[in-house]
Amino acid sequence: MKNHTSQTSKDTGITLLELTVVILVLIGMISVLFIGAKAYKEGADRAQCVVNIRNVQVAVRSYQNLYILNPGDDINSARLVSEDGGFMDTLPSCPAQGEYTLVTEIPDLGDLALDCSVETDGFEHIPSQHANW
C-alpha cells in the first residue's frame, strides 16, 4: 500500500515565460486590430468623400437643368449653395481633412464639379467611374 501523504505538491501558477508569450500574442492581436481599424477608417472616409462629390455633382446638374445652362457657363454659387433655397445648404467637407475645390463653370458631361485633394496609399477620393455624371 502506498502512502499518499508523502507526495510533493507542485505549484500550479504560470511561469514567466508563459506570461511573456501570452502578452506577446495579445500585443500582436491588438496591432492587427489597429491596422484593420485604420484601413476601415480610410475606406469609410473615401466612401463618404465619393458620396459628397456625387451629391455636389447632382446639385450642379440640377442647377444646370433648371437655369438651362450649357457646359462652360458660369455657376452662380449663391444660387447653388444657399440655405435660402439653394440646391445645397452648405458645401460638404472632406472627412479625411482634405480640401474640396468647386468648379466655377458648368463642367462637361463626365467631368466632376468637385475635386478632393486627398490621396492615401495611392487611392484618390475621386470616384473612378464617373463618366456619366
pTM equals 0.76
Q: What pLDDT, in 10s, does the model give residues 52-88?
A: 999 999 999 999 999 999 999 999 988 999 988 889 9
| CA–CA gap between residue 12 and residue 15 (Å, rounded) | 9
> What are residue 101's phi and psi, to 5 degrees?
-120, 115
Residues 6 or more apart whose CB falls under 8 angstroms from that of 88 comprise 55, 56, 59, 80, 81
pLDDT, tens digit (0-9, with 9 covering 90-100), for 12-66: 788 999 999 999 999 999 999 999 999 899 889 999 999 999 999 999 999 999 9
In the chain, where are the structural domains located?
A: 34-124
Which residue, 95, 60, 96, is CA-closest to 81?
60
> Cβ atoms within 10 A of the Cβ of 75, count?
20
Confirm or reject CATH 3.30.1300.80 for domain 34-124, answering yes or no: yes
